[in-house]
Structure 1
Amino acid sequence: MRSYTAEAKLKVIKRAEGYGTRDAALKYGVNERTIRKWKVQKQKLSSCERTRRSFRGCKPKWTEVEVLLKEWVVSKRSAHRRVSTMMIRKEGLRIADQLGLEDFTGGSHWCHSFMRRNGFSMRARTSVGQPLPDNYQGKIKEFRHFVMEETQSIPLSNVGNVDEVPVPFDVISNRTVDIRATGEKLKPIIIFKRKTMPKVHFPDGVIVKVNDKGWMNETLMKDWIDECWNERQSYDPNPVNSMIILDSARCHLTDNVREEMKQCSKVAVIPGGLTKFLQPLDISVNKPFKENLRNCWEEWMSATENAEYTRGGKRKRPGYEVVAEWVKTSFEAVSTDTIIHGFDKALLENPDLDALNTSF
């Protein structure tokens, strides 16, 4: 059975209004009864998307919940606050509880139906892809060959990867995370954008640093070597028995840092533009880590009972110790299998050249 878009239906209606229903039926091969039905729906057809083909779907069961929830979503977006499906479901449950609706479960299917009924959609920020260097296939193979050759006699527990991950929170500026090929994790370093160390108690399992730019620099890179890499359980003072894999960030390549690294490990610098193929953290760890961190932040934002506000009515940011706990739990939640998968994909797999050519 043939279906018609709203745009096509309106075209048929226009013909029927000008030349009659029978003429339109003959011209477009549509039943006259169907055209009369479309005439009744003309207003709805004019206001919906041009590609819509039907108005099927049951009415919402919990109308009052959805009315209040829609107002909540609109108010959040008007204030330029992020709204996720998880937040919508939690707020729906809270409203239903206030209304005494015990049969409301706020499932994912209901959430997406609610969004469709109210014209909401999920969107993500777009970014410009990193350009691939010339002869990138050859550079990928050379790097993998170099790492495999240099690590033949090195235990996997002494092969590590370090990377910096910025977070767009009001309070976090940067975090440095470190993993090893066996799936083990070193303590993450949190770098706060400030000049003095916060006078709060931070949780065990993280290292906290500060600087006025909130970013990794030569001094902090040396701190990472001393306080993280050289403190690992499988530490071997002989530099030929370990390897650090890192990208070509400026703070990684200064003469002082390179000299410091060479005193404790071999170093493999990923060619510029190829971290998405050769950086284990980029491949499998950073995304789930940031998702875990985002979930912590959303839960904190949703818990308004004990929230504190400024005189201007804006919510105060989370404490430094709270953020440090988020980083700790989010990093711990990344599984060992996920880390091992990142190393395997970065260093063992052959790239799909067709996929690489169509990635951008």
Structure 2
Amino acid sequence: MDQTGVGIDNAGRLTIDVRGAKRVDVIQRMDENGARCKTPCVHCFSGVPGADVYTEVSDPNWGKSRIVHTTQRNAWCDHATMMKWVEEVWTLAVLGCHMLMLNRLQVHKIESVKQHLVDICCTKVQYIPPGITGSSQPMDVSVMRSFKSNIQIVLGDGLAVA
């Protein structure tokens, strides 16, 4: 699961703005299952669960149907965000038993997350050794570059995406 902050230079017209914020934090996650089918992205917006932003992005008619939207106070992958990914993306994407390689982000090591993956999803969890995450993710630069380019296309050519 990769996380990136997307800085957007806008005039504050979007409902995802918080008191003039010029930054939208999102978590984007894409991968392929054993049949080489991409699993849905998860976009985690900065916002408090239950508040306006959460209500908006949780609406099934909001955004693309193939993207899972959620919020977290700092747009960070916490336990609830990770469990949402497991339940709404991983569980639906895998058939049979699989192995999932995760980096050592604290939320990946929570026992309840690991146990849910093992018990419900028939997924064995392995952790990437420290220091080699960058080597194991050679598509980071190209994926994030195209992601940010697509944001510019969707939101308008006048926006500066950092």
Would you say same fold, with TM above 0.5? yes
Which residue does 1:295 correspond to in 2? 149
Note the C-alpha offset of 1:254: 1.0
1:267 aligns with 2:125: yes
Which residue does 2:18 correspond to in 1? none
Note the C-alpha offset of 1:208: 0.2
Q: Which has the larger radius of gyration?
A: 1
Which residue does 1:215 correspond to in 2? 76
1:199 aligns with 2:52: no
Identical positions, percent: 15
The one-letter code matched in structure 1 to 2:107 is C
Q: Tell me if structure 1 keeps the 8 A contact 2:6–2:148.
A: no
The one-letter code matched in structure 2 to 1:189 is V
Q: Which secondary structure state, in structure 2, belongs to the residue aligned with residue 216 of structure 1?
A: coil
CA distance in 2, matches of 1:300, 1:206: 15
Query: Using a 3 Å threshold, how does the CA distance of structure 1 residues 219 and 287 change in structure 2: closer, same or farther?
Result: same
Alignment of 1:92-111 (within 5 A): none
Q: Which secondary structure state, in structure 2, belongs to the residue aligned with residue 209 of structure 1?
A: strand
Which residue does 2:40 correspond to in 1? 187
Note the C-alpha offset of 1:198: 4.8
Moved over 3 A (4+): 297-304
The answer to which structure, 1 or 2, has the higher relative contact order (CA under 8 A, 6+ apart) is 2
Query: Using a 3 Å threshold, how does the CA distance of structure 1 residues 303 and 220 change in structure 2: closer, same or farther?
Result: closer
Which residue does 2:134 correspond to in 1? 276
Q: Would you tell me which structure has more helix in proportion to its own residues?
A: 1
Q: Deviations over 1:27-70 (max 9, x none)?
A: xxxxxxxxxxxxxxxxxxxxxxxxxxxxxxxxxxxxxxxxxxxx
Note the C-alpha offset of 1:301: 7.5
The one-letter code matched in structure 1 to 2:2 is E
1:255 aligns with 2:108: no
Q: Tell me if structure 2 keeps the 8 A contact 1:165–1:175.
A: yes
**Root-mean-square deviation (Å):** 2.5
Which residue does 2:95 correspond to in 1? 235
The one-letter code matched in structure 2 to 1:192 is F
Q: Deviations over 1:213-257 (max 9, x none)?
A: 11101121111111111101x522xxxx21111111101001111
CA distance in 1, matches of 2:35, 2:47: 35
Q: Deviations over 1:309-360 (max 9, x none)?
A: xxxxxx8x99xxxxxxxxxxxxxxxxxxxxxxxxxxxxxxxxxxxxxxxxxx
Note the C-alpha offset of 1:185: 1.1
The one-letter code matched in structure 2 to 1:245 is M
Q: Tell me if structure 2 keeps the 8 A contact 1:164–1:216.
A: no
| TM-score relative to the length of structure 2 | 0.72
Note the C-alpha offset of 1:299: 4.2
Query: Using a 3 Å threshold, how does the CA distance of structure 1 residues 190 and 297 change in structure 2: closer, same or farther?
Result: closer
Q: Tell me if structure 2 keeps the 8 A contact 1:191–1:215.
A: yes
Note the C-alpha offset of 1:212: 0.6
Q: Deviations over 1:58-99 (max 9, x none)?
A: xxxxxxxxxxxxxxxxxxxxxxxxxxxxxxxxxxxxxxxxxx
Q: Would you tell me which structure has more strand in proportion to its own residues?
A: 2
CA distance in 1, matches of 2:154, 2:80: 33
Note the C-alpha offset of 1:190: 0.4
Query: Using a 3 Å threshold, how does the CA distance of structure 1 residues 215 and 256 change in structure 2: closer, same or farther?
Result: same
CA distance in 2, matches of 1:215, 1:230: 21
- Structure 2, unpaired ranges of 5+: 8-22
Alignment of 1:52-71 (within 5 A): none
Alignment of 1:1-360 (within 5 A): 163-169=1-7, 170-195=23-48, 196=51, 197-199=54-56, 201-232=62-93, 234-236=94-96, 241-263=97-119, 264=121, 265-277=123-135, 279=136, 282-284=137-139, 286-299=140-153, 303-304=157-158
Query: Using a 3 Å threshold, how does the CA distance of structure 1 residues 249 and 171 change in structure 2: closer, same or farther?
Result: same
| TM-score relative to the length of structure 1 | 0.34
Query: Using a 3 Å threshold, how does the CA distance of structure 1 residues 218 and 300 change in structure 2: closer, same or farther?
Result: closer
Query: Using a 3 Å threshold, how does the CA distance of structure 1 residues 300 and 221 change in structure 2: closer, same or farther?
Result: closer
Q: Tell me if structure 1 keeps the 8 A contact 2:6–2:26.
A: yes
Query: Using a 3 Å threshold, how does the CA distance of structure 1 residues 291 and 256 change in structure 2: closer, same or farther?
Result: same
Note the C-alpha offset of 1:189: 0.6
Note the C-alpha offset of 1:178: 3.1
